[in-house]
Chains A and B, each alone.
Chain A
Amino acid sequence: MALLEVEGLVKHFVAGRSLFGRALGHVKAVDGVSFSLDAGKTLALVGESGCGKSTVSRLVLRLIEPDAGTVRFAGRDLLSLDAGALRAFRREAQIIFQDPYASLNPRMTVGQILTEPLALHDLVPPAQRRERVAEILRLVGLEPRLERRYPHEFSGGQRQRIAIARALAVEPKLIICDEPVSALDVSIRSQILNLLRELQDRLGLAYIFVSHDLAVVKHIADHVAVMNLGQIVETAEADALFAAPRHPYSRALLSAIPVPKPRAKRSRIVLQGEIPSALSPPPGCRFHTRCPYVVDRCRSEMPQLVPDGIGHATACHRTSELPSSAAIVPSDGGFSPVLEKLVAAFSGGPEAVRGSGVSPLGTDPA
């Protein structure tokens, strides 16, 4: 059984009210989204700003209430939970945000930040809490003695480790990672990605990974759902999607990934036109205003997400008629053998790969 099953999720935000409180318009942030996620796996939600991917992640946690649809977590219907049961559920699903500067309380020490969830859920007897905090800090590659410090004493990467530690404190089964590495520098980003992966292997965590960085998604995700204007337009195994994206929107997204290789072979699809407003999404297929393959039918009839029987589903009327997309995703060609060896040597060699970038991070942040 899947850990998380989401069915027909809908959320429309009111976009302004008249003098008498009547809604003037609705932002259709999420409009009929369904997916499922197995324990220990990663589902990535990708799409442009405003496509609804962050709203979906908040609906799954019931941080905001959906207008319709169901969310089942380990077989329980989340939307029927009362306040007490909802609080118990919060133990099992946590979230990490993009900005490690804004998501930690500056007035609390790291120890206090990590003790709070333990106390709140009454997980560990008070006498053993310090020990548990030390254990969690080691788990994310920080030295236990840092518990007395305040968030401002840490760098961005270290703060993101603290945010991860806070999420892990309650031993969740699911962590929602909302752009967890977007605010970090390249070298720090790889440390956090390695850490997330290692924690998943070690603790059997499931992740919902919200990101607009598609190379990162390719690296971390098992499944990917591509969203456009509140709807999933394509969902597939990550490898299958990146090998041959089917929906014209996915093709455009994936074709535009910048790759670290000069003169990389690519057939970039540059989308013309602006993203339509979620206030009044176009009728029919919501991508038709920007789609290079648009036909009349797309303007009137909304395509359904049709599975192909082997785990790849696409919401496009023309799926079967579109040209091959095998060469859509740009190729970076990999490293030369010498550079490959050099990078391996830089990381300590294949035998000596250090886990999670755990390192002497206790040094004073300058």
Chain B
Amino acid sequence: MSASPLIEIKDLRIRFHGDDGRVTHAVDSVDLSVANGATLGLVGESGCGKSVTSLAIMGLLPKQSAEITGAIRFDGFDLLKTPDQTLRDLRGNRLAMIFQEPMTSLNPSFTIGDQIIETILRHRGGSRRSARERAIELLRRVHIPSPERRIDEYPHKLSGGMRQRVMIAMALACDPRLLIADEPTTALDVTLQAQILELMRELKAASGAAIILITHDLGVVAEVCDEVAVMYAGEIVERAPVDELFAMPQHPYTVGLLGSIPRLDHRAEQLATIEGMVPNMAQPPAGCRFSARCPFVLDACTEAPPPLVEVSPGHLSRCIRAPLELLVS
């Protein structure tokens, strides 16, 4: 990481207050930073807090029920203390997001052109004609064939892959500094996934924007990320440069994740499984949150929450048994 990261998250905590008075600890003491031009992968399974973290960055969590503490520094702002009006100026401008479902995140009653042009006019102003020209240019950049014609089509006329490309075009409309992509390829076929990942790499190279890629697919992470943060039950349990994480994971949960993916090179009779269930986040366990499912658990693990410590330079793990290679040598 360079001296001044583009975005820096410090001790982010998010709690949801339910109608029944229950408090769910969705995110706890998350520290993250992303440098200009870097791609951070945020990995974890359903409910681990990865999407909630990204919504907090965008300021899209409901104010009534979500209690957010900590700091999110971006481009000179603390996003958690920024007034709504300023946030609206940032969103879609310097801060952009692509959601998982291209089917539901486009408005079906406007043409794709209208939707891109709206973003450009809102943030950049200028004439409608120049905005339209820019929209066509953006569609061309995301490799939509004959953009001059496509721009006047409604979302239902486009395939899933095309809609996702329209979403990307819209996110790029104002040259964002930070792009958050929440499972951008999950709903897509492997051939389209390859196209979209290629496109994201191209755009990063061209614009130098930073990307936070949220996914549960470790294959996608290996393809496009520079650094990875693994989340489990609202906490970051491991953070490392991508090569290191895949070469020698330092948290048992990451080991389990890697072992549970079918490999192409090697036909295992049995895949690794992670037994048990995620803890109830209304009453998180006192010690390590993974301890109930961890085969390497010690008594000490259940007594106090383990800190996130540096195992080797740049490689952090929230496990008191790290370095894990000592367990098998």
Contact = CB atoms under 8 A, between A and B. Distances in A.
Interface of A: 48-49, 155-156, 185-187, 189-191, 193-194, 197, 212-216, 218-220, 242, 252-253, 256-264, 268, 270-271, 273-275, 329-336, 338-339, 341-343, 345-348, 353, 357, 359-360, 363, 365-366
B287 interface: no
A16 B243 CA distance: 52
Interface of B: 45-46, 145, 159-162, 189-195, 197-198, 216-223, 242-243, 246-249, 252, 255-282, 295-296, 324-325, 327-329
A260 B269 CA distance: 19
Contacts of B279: 366
A50 to B, nearest CB: 9
B257 to A, nearest CB: 6
A262 B243 contact: yes
B198 A270 contact: yes
Contact of B259 (A193, A262, A343): A343
B275 A336 contact: no
Given A341-B328, A345-B328, A256 B194 contact: yes
Contact of B272 (A216, A331, A347, A359): A347
Contacts of A48: 189-192
Q: Which of B159, B248, B272, B295 has the most CB of A within 10 A?
A: B272
Contacts of A215: 219, 261-264
A270 B179 CA distance: 23
B201 to A, nearest CB: 11
A252 B222 CA distance: 19
A277 B143 CA distance: 19
B275 A258 contact: no
A273 B145 CA distance: 8
Contacts of B217: 186, 258
B219 A259 contact: yes
Contacts of A365: 277
B277 A259 contact: no
Given A48-B191, A334-B263, A338-B328, A185 B219 contact: no
Nearest to B293: A187
Contacts of A348: 295
Contact of A258 (B193, B258, B282, B325): B193
B325 A338 contact: yes
Describe B's contact surface by its main secondary structure.
loop
B162 A271 contact: no
A345 B295 contact: yes
Given A262-B243, A342-B255, 7 more contacts: A215-B262, A220-B262, A256-B194, A258-B223, A270-B195, A330-B264, A336-B247
Given A331-B265, A342-B324, A347 B222 contact: no
9 contacts: A194-B270, A218-B264, A256-B191, A261-B246, A336-B248, A338-B248, A341-B328, A347-B270, A347-B273
A348 B256 CA distance: 11
A338 to B, nearest CB: 5
B222 to A, nearest CB: 5
| Closest 10 A/B residue pairs (Cβ) | A258-B219, A219-B262, A366-B280, A190-B260, A190-B271, A256-B194, A343-B259, A187-B274, A357-B273, A341-B328
Nearest to B266: A334
Nearest to A348: B295
Q: Which of A48, A219, A264, A275 has the most CB of B within 10 A?
A: A219
Given A274-B159, A339-B247, A353-B270, A253 B327 contact: no
A131 to B, nearest CB: 27
Contacts of A345: 295-296, 327-328
B255 A346 contact: yes
B322 to A, nearest CB: 11
A363 B277 contact: yes
B252 A346 contact: yes
B91 to A, nearest CB: 29
A339 B190 CA distance: 28
Contacts of A273: 145
B10 to A, nearest CB: 28
B213 to A, nearest CB: 12
A334 B327 contact: no
Contacts of B219: 215, 257-260
Contacts of B257: 186-187
A334 B265 contact: yes
A49 B189 contact: yes
B191 A271 contact: yes
B277 A343 contact: no
A214 B190 contact: yes
Nearest to B221: A260
B218 to A, nearest CB: 4
Nearest to B253: A187
A355 to B, nearest CB: 8
B327 A342 contact: yes
Given A260-B222, A348-B295, A359-B276, A185 B46 contact: yes
Contacts of A258: 190, 193-194, 197, 217, 219-220, 222-223
